[in-house]
Structure 1
Amino acid sequence: MISNHSIKEVLVKNSYDLIVAGAGPAGLTAAKVAAENGLSVALIERKQNIAEILRMCGMMIVTLSGKYMGERVTHNPSAGLLTFPHHGFSVPYDGPTKDFFAWHIYSPGGNRIAYGDYTANSSRGTAGRASAVYDKSHFLAGLLEECRQLGVSVFAGENVIDVRKKGEGVEVQCASGKHFNAVFAIAADGRNSRIARVMGMNRTRGFYGSVTSIGYEMTNLNLPEPYALHMPLVQSGDPPMLGFIVPRAWNHEGEDVWLVMITNVDPSTDHESLFDLFTQKSRFSSWFKNGRKVRKCGCAGIMYSPIVYPFKDNVLFAGDSGWCREAEMTGAVMSGWKAGSAVVFALLEGQHTEDGVRSYLDWWRSYHIEKLDYNVFLRNLYLPILCKDEEIDYIFSMIKQTLPTVLDPYEVPEEMGKAMIKVIPAIQKERPELLKKLTGFSSLPPEVVLRKTIRAGFNCSFTT
């Protein structure tokens, strides 16, 4: 517990040790950790119903079959916990899960690259899974309940519009007119972070475009392997059209549910028409012939380079607020846990500056900036943008081996690269012009390949 010399003895009304803006996985975990250690915490969230999932999410646990950000996440259903043994903490989750056993990526012509042997893995049950999907609403509700039990002051339906330094601390202003003061604040307001924008953090970040997606939760699909992650490249081009199908952790009226979505990097595109093309007219349309739509959902996100130094004016940036695309739930939880822990130590030591939270800044550099190269995400778009459908079909047809069962989004391209090295001699013999093309664009910077995507996107580097 914080000693009797805690900063909160001299605090006034609406003043706290810590303000957390955003009640997603990162924000709730940060608030929980801080409150467990005796800090007074204000948790501010834009949504009125914090556990309600409005934004489309794959809801995958990344990952239960390998390491992610140096951690080996485990699910202990009997104890109702997700555990992070390397970092030494756990978070509650006693909701439903559903295992999936492979990740299949398809070319426009239907050729498949498989990460994991679906038949062999599924025969092994939990021991053979690539990972599992979970119910994010249940997860957030569990964390929120723990926060409330620990005395966190929760302010739902409050939209943060400004954050600034005030004395030795920080002041947070909401659209309702409410003001909050604290020694530190943690910005955990997601991928399109308003706090990062108004504090000028986006001015030094590379901008690479906006990703928009729509989808439906559907039942009665006819998938070749129902409990796998399917990712069809429906159509190459600039921009390309990518599909995504993942099981849900729950059933609807006794039937399995899948999230089916289409993703595009041109926000002006008619995404509903693209979804219809994918599900009704593409090579993959037979999967959806008898499908029934249950709920529509969507999301939009900006692709920036990550925030290299996630601290300014006593504000720490956690989770997706400082990521290139998404930290995944597990990455966000780890980031929130470390940010909250760092603030606890800072207050215990009476260091109300960036030196007090140095442990978090070092962790961010070591586990995020140095370990995860954001260019890996961006280069995933190179092949569908620069190659034609027929060329991609040929490349996929050459990789006949089943690749290792992996889900780490940074490890998947690495395994693909290893497989490509093995087939280069054959491509050189059969399609030397294609190999020359592949070799040429592999060294191109994202600014060149994604120039059309960048022009079409919304760059929120302004501060007002």
Structure 2
Amino acid sequence: MKKDIVIAGAGPAGLMAALKLAERGITPTVIEMKNNMDKLNRACSMQFIIDDEYEADALKIEGQKLVFTKCGLEVPYTGKLVPLYNKYYHSPKDHIIRFTRNDGKDPFSYKFDKQFLLKSLFDACAAKGVEFMMGTLALGGKDKGNGVELTLRQKGKKFTLACDKLIIAEGVNASVCGKFGLNKQRMGQAGDKVLDLGMAYSMKYLMEGITGVENNSWNLYYGNAYHSQTACIIGPSLEGDGIFEVTITGSPGLMPKKIFEEFTTASPMAKHFKNAKLIKKNGCGLKPFMAMKEPCRGNVMAIGDCAAMVEVETQGGLLCGYRAATAVAEELEGKPGFAAYTKWWQDSFEFNSDDYMEVSKGYALAFVYTDDELDYLFSLCEGHNLHGTYSQYLTPKLIWDCIRLSSEKIKKDRPEIYAKMQKMGQI
């Protein structure tokens, strides 16, 4: 039996696409490798970003719903919300760059319960008659021009499933995207091979008893003194004041477990973990790529994290699913829905802009600058309250804009830092 629409993946993007298609009278089939939606075991990002124009929209939390003010999407949500009022960047000697709104009175982001949101979307889809094939893995497939044939595995058995259109919403590792040739466009500068960003591993440790950390704040620790080439992060949990999430990201050569051990016992933060206790931990492995410029090809479209540079955040996934449903419905009517989606995708996400690599350079702090140099640069921003934002694209721009206010001072006092900034295109 041939299906109209198959959606590979039951994350925010896939579930929203399924729900909105069902509301249009189109019943999709969702394949998901998990057996059920009762638990979210892996580490993942769980922040709502409330910046105006973030991902070309603006998310507002109004009562018990999420409202995207530009496109009109409304999503019921009655789960937990924890506001974040301050974001702090810490140097090795704890010079601090502060990001805040209204001097810490207004939140710039909310931590939310992603499992609750996903289960709510799943239940809403089921109520609309969406068909789910749980415990099913997509192994590959082929776009045959007049439709798509998928190769699936469920309970150890392989079988095929045909459909008119396929929406891939599998998440950041993008393996199904690769089977359909969509990753070939993710070229490096030489244009001769797919450019991925290597394997990354992330662990989240839920802990109580950490001292020296402000509740409802997001803290990022930069420098070799913290034993990591990326930021070690301490932020709020959903469990109440005094219980924090410690997020550590590593690589095959420097795994999160080792970074965590040294961060908590042999870094400037060690004294704050002296009486801390681990409640639980979880993790994930990622193989991020550069972004797809063309997420639609033939009868197949890739949406959400699997088409992104690393991720689109949950709200980006919801927007992708919402737009994808419209695109597929229009395609079934003979209209250019995929072309409209592609234009929206290219215009809405900052990793598709021409300067996205310059933004990524803005995070190359521990790779480029010594701990002493980081202390100096961060000290130049002390006393300046930068705009409160969670955005990983806006944040480095704000930091370097602030540092550049002291360009002449840096050139005079620390010419070696000034030379590095010139080399990195930061001045």
The answer, yes or no, to whether TM exceeds 0.5 is yes
Once structures 1 and 2 are overlaid, which stretch shifts more, 131-140 or 46-55? 46-55
Partner of 2:173: 192
Post-superposition Cα deviations, 1:4-54, rounded to whole Å, max 9, x if no partner, equal: xxxxxxxxx3x3221110111111111111111011210111111225212
Tell me if the contact between 2:222 and 2:365 (Cα under 8 Å) persists in the aligned partners: no
Aligned positions of 1:23-62 closer than 5 A: 23-61=10-48
- 1:392 matched to 2:374? The reply is yes
Give the Å deviation of 1:227.
1.0
Partner of 1:403: 386
Partner of 2:190: none
- 1:96 matched to 2:80? The reply is yes
Aligned positions of 1:59-70 closer than 5 A: 59-61=46-48, 63-70=49-56
Partner of 2:152: 174
Tell me if the contact between 1:237 and 1:385 (Cα under 8 Å) persists in the aligned partners: no
Partner of 2:199: 210
Give the Å deviation of 1:138.
0.2
User: What is the rounded CA distance, in whole Å, between the counterparts of 1:144 and 1:256 in structure 2?
Assistant: 32
Tell me if the contact between 1:111 and 1:393 (Cα under 8 Å) persists in the aligned partners: yes
Give the Å deviation of 1:377.
5.3
Partner of 2:314: 329
Aligned positions of 1:56-455 closer than 5 A: 56-61=43-48, 63-77=49-63, 80-116=64-100, 120-121=103-104, 124=105, 128-176=106-154, 177-205=158-186, 206-235=195-224, 240-251=229-240, 256-264=242-250, 266-347=251-332, 349-351=333-335, 355-368=336-349, 370-371=352-353, 373-376=355-358, 378-400=360-382, 401-442=384-425
Secondary structure class of the residue paired with 1:362: helix
Specify the code of the residue in structure 2 equivalent to 1:426: K
Once structures 1 and 2 are overlaid, which stretch shifts more, 139-148 or 206-215? 206-215
Secondary structure class of the residue paired with 1:337: helix
Q: Rate the CA distance shift 1:279–1:73 in 2: closer, same or farther, 3 A.
A: same
Tell me if the contact between 1:234 and 1:282 (Cα under 8 Å) persists in the aligned partners: no
Give the Å deviation of 1:334.
0.7
User: What is the rounded CA distance, in whole Å, between the counterparts of 1:246 and 1:376 in structure 2?
Assistant: 27
Secondary structure class of the residue paired with 2:162: strand
Specify the code of the residue in structure 2 equivalent to 1:214: M
User: What is the rounded CA distance, in whole Å, between the counterparts of 1:180 and 1:49 in structure 2?
Assistant: 21
Give the Å deviation of 1:419.
0.2
Secondary structure class of the residue paired with 1:403: strand
Q: Rate the CA distance shift 1:322–1:97 in 2: closer, same or farther, 3 A.
A: same
User: What is the rounded CA distance, in whole Å, between the counterparts of 2:216 and 2:346 in structure 1?
Assistant: 36
Q: Rate the CA distance shift 1:102–1:243 in 2: closer, same or farther, 3 A.
A: same
Secondary structure class of the residue paired with 2:197: strand
Specify the code of the residue in structure 1 equivalent to 2:424: F
Residue ranges of structure 2 left out of the alignment (5+ in a row)? 187-194
Structure 1 residue aligned with 2:7, among 1, 20, 37?
Answer: 20
User: What is the rounded CA distance, in whole Å, between the counterparts of 1:191 and 1:330 in structure 2?
Assistant: 15
User: What is the rounded CA distance, in whole Å, between the counterparts of 1:429 and 1:370 in structure 2?
Assistant: 37
User: What is the rounded CA distance, in whole Å, between the counterparts of 1:339 and 1:345 in structure 2?
Assistant: 10
Partner of 2:192: none
Tell me if the contact between 1:248 and 1:259 (Cα under 8 Å) persists in the aligned partners: yes
Partner of 2:189: none
Q: TM-score, normalised by structure 2?
A: 0.91
Give the Å deviation of 1:207.
2.4
Residue ranges of structure 1 left out of the alignment (5+ in a row)? 1-12, 445-464
Give the Å deviation of 1:314.
0.8
User: What is the rounded CA distance, in whole Å, between the counterparts of 1:383 and 1:275 in structure 2?
Assistant: 19
Specify the code of the residue in structure 1 equivalent to 2:211: N
User: What is the rounded CA distance, in whole Å, between the counterparts of 2:271 and 2:359 in structure 1?
Assistant: 30
Identity, in percent, stands at 27
User: What is the rounded CA distance, in whole Å, between the counterparts of 1:288 and 1:157 in structure 2?
Assistant: 40
| Count of residue pairs brought into register by the alignment | 414
Tell me if the contact between 2:19 and 2:124 (Cα under 8 Å) persists in the aligned partners: yes
Give the Å deviation of 1:241.
4.3
Q: Rate the CA distance shift 1:237–1:284 in 2: closer, same or farther, 3 A.
A: closer
Once structures 1 and 2 are overlaid, which stretch shifts more, 170-179 or 368-377? 368-377
Q: Rate the CA distance shift 1:223–1:156 in 2: closer, same or farther, 3 A.
A: farther
